[in-house]
Amino acid sequence: MRAHPRIAVIGAGIGGLTLAAALDRAGIPCQVFEQARQLTEVGAGVQLAPNAIRPLRQLGVVETLQRSAVRIEAMETRSWAGAPIARTPFGPACEKLFAAPYYAIHRADLQAALLARVGPRPLRLGHALTRMEPAEDGVRLGFRDGTTYHADLVVGADGIHSVVRQALTDDAPVFSGLGVFRGLVPVRDLPQAAREPLIRMWLGPGRHFVCYPVRGGELISFAAIAPLCDAPVESWSADGSPGDLVEAFDGWRGLVRDVTRAARTVRRWALYDREELTTWSAGRITVLGDAAHPMLPFLAQGANQAVEDAVELASRLDGTTRADIPAVLGDYGATRGDRTTAIQQGARGHSESMHLPDGPRQQERDLALRASSGIAGLRGRAWLYAYAAGATPAAGT
């Protein structure tokens, strides 16, 4: 019997766990090394588009997700003063076009669903990677606790501050000049309109505000983007001030006012991305998700692209021998690089257009958004939502 390659996945976030699930589906074992000693509930809401839902369905994860995910019916965009700009339907139209719904979910619920699929066996918690060394046609990994592991393949799914990425390039995160307030508000503390299964977005000078329901509609997750003068460390656990949130969006209309005043616990962190990788692999080392292409959140594709990376890599590793790994990794990077770069750059471009000051350019933007809304606007997202990572095509596109 042919021995499977020894695969070490560094990081038990969305990308790392999706890869473990996809490898398991292909009958390929792996070890997932996570620096945290316990996987705790972190983050807030995540938008899952059809390009991630289709492969997650094949992995058997969606049935669990449905217990807490909210099926989004539409995305509404307004001005900071409350004037409607555009509305793009999701709901049945999204399922017809892209063979999958559009979900909003708490990040912890997505992680829990993936953990339930993967099981505890491949997880090695409390293992912080400190070094990687070539050894015997493989890679010798060293961890902070003194343990080591010999791998035939190392996959860095260890986020924007990836240790594995350092084997590919000597770069650093790029500060956007923006920060994000994030938090969760019980829907019972908000007007009845907050219960609708919508993604709502308000655009204003220098900033914007997004909110949507998660946890089966019990909570509203919000992301409030505003200028940030300094560049603190990017961290999901950094505390923010509810008072600063209220001040940053003072005078904004509609649910913005309600949500900002109802928020009791707020996180705030700086928004970073990185420049594109010129190569995704070196020998037997590669990366995925934020370790490969951290993105600004303005296309809501960060988690979705991590899922795509994972299922694409797993599909290429199916039937692979140890000797095949360097060539397989080269093909994987070539396949994923152009797409993720386009999305990274698109997110950067949205940063400017979403934050225009009131005036002629803002009016032109709003006219363009109105013209591209409705079902035409949904069809215009086919470049994102119809993508067939790991051969999971959308029907009807």
Measured CA to CA, the distance from residue 279 to residue 291 in angstroms comes to 13
Helix (H) or strand (E) holding 23: helix 14-25
pLDDT in tens, 336-356: 999 999 999 999 999 899 999
Asked if the model's pLDDT at residue 149 lies above 90, the reply is yes
- Predicted local confidence at residue 137, as pLDDT: 82
Instruction: Tally Cβ neighbours within 10 Å of residue 197.
Output: 17
**What are the structure tokens assigned to 84, written together?**
């409607």
**What are the structure tokens assigned to 372, written together?**
């591209």
**What are the structure tokens assigned to 63, written together?**
């049935």
**What are the structure tokens assigned to 245, written together?**
């949130």
Of residues 240 and 22, the one with the higher pLDDT is 22
Catalytic residue among 102, 212, 272, 332: 212
Asked whether 15 and 290 are in contact (CB, 8 A), the reply is yes
Asked whether 337 and 280 are in contact (CB, 8 A), the reply is yes
At the top level of CATH, the class of 7-172+274-385 is alpha beta
Residue with tokens 């950067």: 348
- The DSSP result for 254-311, as a single string, is THHHHHHHH--S-EEEEEEE-PPPS-SEETTEEE-GGGT----GGGS-HHHHHHHHHH
Measured CA to CA, the distance from residue 214 to residue 234 in angstroms comes to 24
Asked if the model's pLDDT at residue 1 lies above 60, the reply is no
Instruction: Tally Cβ neighbours within 10 Å of residue 54.
Output: 25
- Domain regions of the chain by residue span: 7-172+274-385
**What are the structure tokens assigned to 276, written together?**
């594109």
Measured CA to CA, the distance from residue 389 to residue 377 in angstroms comes to 22
Asked if the model's pLDDT at residue 28 lies above 60, the reply is yes
Measured CA to CA, the distance from residue 172 to residue 18 in angstroms comes to 26
- Predicted local confidence at residue 237, as pLDDT: 57
pLDDT in tens, 92-139: 999 999 999 999 999 999 999 999 999 999 999 999 999 999 887 899
Residue with tokens 């606007």: 377
Measured CA to CA, the distance from residue 188 to residue 231 in angstroms comes to 35
Q: What percent of the chain has pLDDT over 70?
A: 95
Residue with tokens 């070196």: 282
- Predicted local confidence at residue 41, as pLDDT: 66
Asked if the model's pLDDT at residue 12 lies above 80, the reply is yes
Q: How far is CA 194 from CA 108, 206, 221, 382, in A?
A: 21, 25, 11, 28
**Residue 212 falls in the annotated catalytic set:** yes
DSSP state, 232? P
pLDDT in tens, 375-394: 999 999 999 999 998 764 45
pLDDT in tens, 241-258: 999 999 999 999 999 999
Asked if the model's pLDDT at residue 155 lies above 50, the reply is yes
Asked whether 390 and 312 are in contact (CB, 8 A), the reply is yes
Diameter of the chain by CA atoms?
Answer: 69
pLDDT in tens, 67-105: 999 999 999 999 999 999 999 999 999 999 999 999 999
pLDDT in tens, 286-302: 999 999 999 999 999 99
- Predicted local confidence at residue 342, as pLDDT: 97
Average pLDDT over residues 226-253: 82
Helix (H) or strand (E) holding 64: helix 62-65
- Per-residue pLDDT band for 231 (boundaries 50, 70, 90) equals low
pLDDT in tens, 161-216: 999 999 999 999 999 999 999 999 999 999 999 999 999 999 999 999 999 999 99
Measured CA to CA, the distance from residue 269 to residue 225 in angstroms comes to 10
